[in-house]
């Protein structure tokens, strides 16, 4: 009978930090590589606030991805913490996956991040995302720019939404993984709890269904997460925290219509994730200026 050491003799495993400026499609890419949705997405920048870990299992390798918030020059307390969270992932990784928006570049923010990446003593692989939104001749110019102006180990043009060249990207990362046994069991997809993902799904619905100001002034906590004994229903109670009284009326909407839509959309996503019926009850509370309050930031998990 062979030992565990023999079983993983030619196995590779490692951590990959997914980094990029806001809104380049990092979370969409992670969900695509996993084949499951664990990281929330929206068209608004800075949707992701926490480091989220996802595990991809391959025949001879395990890749542990760290999805990070978008990196930019932050000003307020919350955003400074968000950017610190993203930058700290660089030091915890074996490989850096630098995601760029090929169709809508942001030169100033990209340069801010590239300066930090060039100091890293680990492989940097570039994923040129959103190639479905750009002409081929323009894409060739973008590839030339990134391959001549800076040194990166590999550049792979992809489309996270269409699934284009995702397999090629994963194979490129596999080449740089160090030898070693897997970090997680074969059925592990993420290290975050169902409770955490439920709160994130509510926040995602808020991002999708409310205007510019509200999503950034919102935090969500899950106060109760109870599974019925027969496993046929999960009861979830959650609180949406806002910064000002005026925001409360906006998120509740006329006769509660907005809050009802947020609840319905969130519940459907939770039912898909948990593969069971969900009863979701939402509360709305005002925590004055919580983004500047270090105690509140800790309480909300930032």
| Domains of the chain, each with CATH number or no CATH | 4-176 (3.40.50.300), 194-299 (3.30.300.20)
| pLDDT(258) > 90 | yes
DSSP 56-111: EEETTEEEEEEE-PPP----SHHHHHHHHHHHHHHHT-SEEEEEEESSS--HHHHH
| pLDDT(302) > 70 | no
Q: Which two tokens stand for residue 20?
A: 């990029």
Q: pLDDT value at position 167? A: 97
| pLDDT(130) > 90 | yes
Mean pLDDT of 49-69: 85
Integer Cα distance of 125 and 114 in angstroms: 12
Give percent of the chain with pLDDT exceeding 90. 56
pLDDT confidence tier of residue 5, bands split at 50, 70 and 90: low
pLDDT confidence tier of residue 232, bands split at 50, 70 and 90: confident
Helices (H) and strands (E) in the chain, counts: 11, 9
Q: pLDDT value at position 22? A: 82
Q: State the average pLDDT for the chain.
A: 87
CB-based contact 132:161 (threshold 8 Å): yes
| pLDDT(6) > 60 | yes
For residue 239, the cross-strand partners are 221, 283
Q: pLDDT value at position 198? A: 92
The single residue listed with the structure tokens 């400074």 is 80
Burial of 144 (0-12, 13-18, 19+ CB in 10 A): exposed
CB-based contact 299:85 (threshold 8 Å): no
pLDDT confidence tier of residue 181, bands split at 50, 70 and 90: very high
Q: pLDDT value at position 257? A: 96
For residue 233, the cross-strand partners are 277
Global pTM?
0.73
Q: Which two tokens stand for residue 79?
A: 């955003």
Q: Which residue has the higher pLDDT, 150 or 135?
A: 135
| pLDDT(156) > 70 | yes
CB-based contact 65:71 (threshold 8 Å): no
CB-based contact 126:41 (threshold 8 Å): no
Q: pLDDT value at position 127? A: 97
| pLDDT(48) > 60 | no
Q: Provide φ and ψ at 221, rounded to 5°.
A: -120, 140
| pLDDT(79) > 60 | no
pLDDT confidence tier of residue 260, bands split at 50, 70 and 90: very high
Integer Cα distance of 92 and 5 in angstroms: 24
DSSP 8-state secondary structure symbol assigned to residue 2: -
């Amino acid at each position: 009978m062979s030992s565990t050491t023999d079983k993983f003799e030619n196995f590779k495993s490692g951590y990959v930090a997914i980094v990029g400026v806001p809104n380049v499609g990092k979370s969409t890419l992670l969900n695509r590589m996993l084949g499951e949705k664990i990281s929330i997405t929206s068209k608004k920048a800075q949707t992701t606030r926490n480091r989220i870990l996802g595990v991809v299992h391959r025949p001879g390798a395990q890749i542990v991805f760290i999805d990070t918030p978008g990196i930019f020059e932050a000003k307020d307390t919350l955003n400074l913490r968000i950017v610190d969270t993203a930058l700290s992932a660089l030091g915890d990784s074996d490989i850096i996956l630098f995601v760029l928006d090929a169709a809508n570049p942001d030169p100033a923010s990209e340069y801010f991040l590239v300066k930090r990446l060039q100091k890293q003593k680990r492989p940097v692989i570039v994923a040129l995302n959103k190639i479905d939104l750009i002409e081929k001749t323009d894409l060739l110019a973008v590839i030339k720019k990134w391959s001549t102006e800076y040194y990166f180990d590999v550049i792979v043009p992809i489309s996270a939404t269409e699934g284009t060249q995702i397999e090629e990207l994963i194979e490129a990362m596999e080449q740089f993984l160090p030898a070693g046994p897997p970090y997680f069991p074969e059925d592990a997809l993420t290290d975050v709890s169902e409770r955490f993902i439920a709160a994130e799904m509510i926040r995602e619905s808020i991002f999708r269904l409310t205007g510019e100001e509200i999503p950034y002034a919102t935090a969500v906590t899950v106060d109760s997460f109870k599974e019925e004994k027969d496993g046929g229903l999960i009861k979830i109670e959650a609180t949406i925290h806002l910064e000002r009284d005026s925001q409360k009326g906006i998120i509740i909407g006329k006769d509660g219509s907005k809050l009802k839509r947020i609840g319905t959309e969130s519940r459907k996503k939770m039912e898909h994730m948990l593969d069971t019926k969900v009863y979701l009850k939402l509360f709305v509370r005002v925590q004055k200026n919580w983004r500047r309050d270090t105690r509140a930031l800790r309480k909300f998990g930032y």
